[in-house]
Structure 1
Amino acid sequence: MSSLSWVRGFNATVGRLAPELVASKMHRAFLTPRDLPPRDWELPLLASAERITLRFGLSALRWGQGPAVLLMHGWEGRPTQFAHLIQVLVRAGYGVVALDAPAHGRSPGHEANVVLFARALLEAASELPPLKAVIGHSMGGASALLATQLGLRTEALVTISAPARIIGALRRFAHFVGLPKQARAQFVHMVESSAGMPAAQLDAARYQLDFPGLVVHAADDQMVPSTEAQSIHAAWSGSRLLHLPSGGHSKLLADPQLAEAVLELLGSADLSAAASRRAVTGVGHRPALAS
């Protein structure tokens, strides 16, 4: 029997008798990322990076000079997973900063969640020049959307393989590990308590997204359904949807179509015009959620 089968069997049985115990174990597992080493193809880019430490200990890698582009990887991810995109951005004249999320890489912490990811983006942005763009993969994309509701200012934003609703991600995890109904409800409540925000609020449909953007997803993503991208795009009138036929959850990060679409967004005349309108009218990036 595989370890996953054993976990599912244990949760299904014990979760009916002691739902709080099982929910607590899965809550810890859900918030505690594994430390996964970089792949060989990431190492050259890692060697060429400048390691920087931000004010509160958050670690990041930096490449190039020029308008600032801030990157946030996904759960159990790494900055160098963006290797192809980083190289394209640097060649195009952008300065790229890619974060180690809380409890990932060299950044401090043992547990993380989407709210902590979002606050890390806010911390980084406070120490960087005005941001040309923020790009997030998976949970990094969800946290970037959330960060704009908490005060993050950026001219444009790109989400890649990101969930539209955090409650959906919680339910998928609970189903994946075999939590019965009562334990599932307690698990969601525990995650909400750790994040300090109701999961129902963490939903792109509730956000004010009044800046240009790009929503990217692959049809064969087995971790986050591609319908999530359609939901984000529907809630975000200024976004373009790039639906790739393949690339899974992470391989699409190296897709040339993604890099081309990002450069098109950053170079768009509409981007500068939108930024100017926000500066004149004072509209945009107002916190829509309680922090």
Structure 2
Amino acid sequence: MPYVPAPVSTGLRALSAVAPPLAVRAAARAFWYVGPPAAVRPADRGVHERSRRGAVDVDGERVVTYRWGDRRAPAVLLVHGWKSRAARFAGLVDALEAAGLGVVAFDGVAHGDSSGRRMSALEHQAAIRAVHDAEGPFTAVVGHSLGALAAGLTLADGLPVDRFVSVAAMTGFDAIAESFLRLVGMPAALHERFCQHVERTFPGDVRDVRARIDLLAHPVPEGVATLFVQDDDDRMSLPAGAPLLHAAVPGSELLTTRGLGHNRVLDDPAVVAAVVAHVTASRPATVRR
């Protein structure tokens, strides 16, 4: 989710009341602002520092990659979300290594130690494909937030993996816009106008953005064993989207939690255990709080 400083949110709310067209244009500019890269948390630093690092080129940007574990072992790709970085998966990295798997992750464009100034789900998809070509193949992909959305869309496009875990995914472009407007305090009445403006001015003259960034219209293939994880108290990826994603992928599983929110779900031991169980082909237990 785009980073918007409090004074900017206050200004957008005021503009929405007196000059909606200007508010939409200003909000669209704020929508692309990534802000300073997230720092590596102290709890994640040990995992971060013992990784084997590399880099791939993604449309002229240097995307930093990380690998852990035995290169000969089946590997899992981890895809982080907005305003995050690869190290945020540290607890899961440890657990996957302990299960005998190799692990690969990367800092998305304009995130972590990678270069760039902005990132969309489409650019995250391009990074996933580039990392797959350089570090794959992968037996499974685990994505969080925007990373889960981008990973799911890339699987729909044919990325060859056996298993997928989606943690706190948004359903698509419109869901991202809805959450953004809600979090900055702009009225829902401006949703359609905002979406049209962002789509019309999307970087790179990309066409049909709303149709392309839609995990319900382009679901994960049935042949990919899929687990959706969603917390009931997530304020960014609203819980109502998870059952829709689950229903769009016949045979998929839905694991629900409570009280963990959007990010802490990645640190929960029971969730980590369920993710590892899924990617190692065991059936995950339902986790409820």
TM-score band w.r.t. shorter chain: 0.7 to 0.9
Structure 1 residues 192 and 153, CA, compared in 2 at 3 Å: closer, same or farther?
A: farther
Q: 252, 275, 278: which one pairs with 2:265?
A: 252
Identity %: 30
8 Å Cα contact 2:79-2:86 kept in structure 1: yes
Aligned to 1:12: 16
Distance, in Å, in 1 between the alignment partners of 2:119 and 2:93 is 25
More helix by share: 1
8 Å Cα contact 2:77-2:140 kept in structure 1: yes
Equivalences, count: 266
CA RMSD of aligned residues (A): 2.2
Structure 1 residues 255 and 176, CA, compared in 2 at 3 Å: closer, same or farther?
A: closer
Aligned to 1:276: none
Q: 57, 60, 66: which one pairs with 2:65?
A: 60
RCO higher in 1 or 2 (8 Å CA, sep ≥ 6)? 1
Aligned partner of residue 206 in structure 1, secondary structure: coil
1:263 aligns with 2:267: no
Which stretch shifts more, 172-181 or 146-155? 172-181
1:32 aligns with 2:55: no
Distance, in Å, in 1 between the alignment partners of 2:8 and 2:84 is 21
Distance, in Å, in 2 between the alignment partners of 1:175 and 1:137 is 20
Q: TM-score, normalised by structure 1?
A: 0.83
Structure 1 residues 107 and 191, CA, compared in 2 at 3 Å: closer, same or farther?
A: farther
Amino acid at match of 1:164: T
8 Å Cα contact 1:11-1:177 kept in structure 2: no
Q: 207, 215, 223: which one pairs with 2:218?
A: 207
Q: 238, 262, 278: which one pairs with 1:225?
A: 238
Which consecutive unaligned segments of at least 5 residues does structure 2 have? 1-5, 284-289
Aligned to 2:177: 170
User: Could you tell me how far 1:184 is from its partner in structure 2?
Assistant: 4.2
Distance, in Å, in 1 between the alignment partners of 2:94 and 2:81 is 19
Aligned to 1:116: 123
8 Å Cα contact 1:11-1:178 kept in structure 2: no
1:75 aligns with 2:75: no
Which consecutive unaligned segments of at least 5 residues does structure 1 have? 271-291
Q: TM-score, normalised by structure 2?
A: 0.84
Distance, in Å, in 2 between the alignment partners of 1:214 and 1:99 is 22
1:97 aligns with 2:97: no
Which stretch shifts more, 107-116 or 166-175? 166-175
8 Å Cα contact 1:134-1:154 kept in structure 2: yes
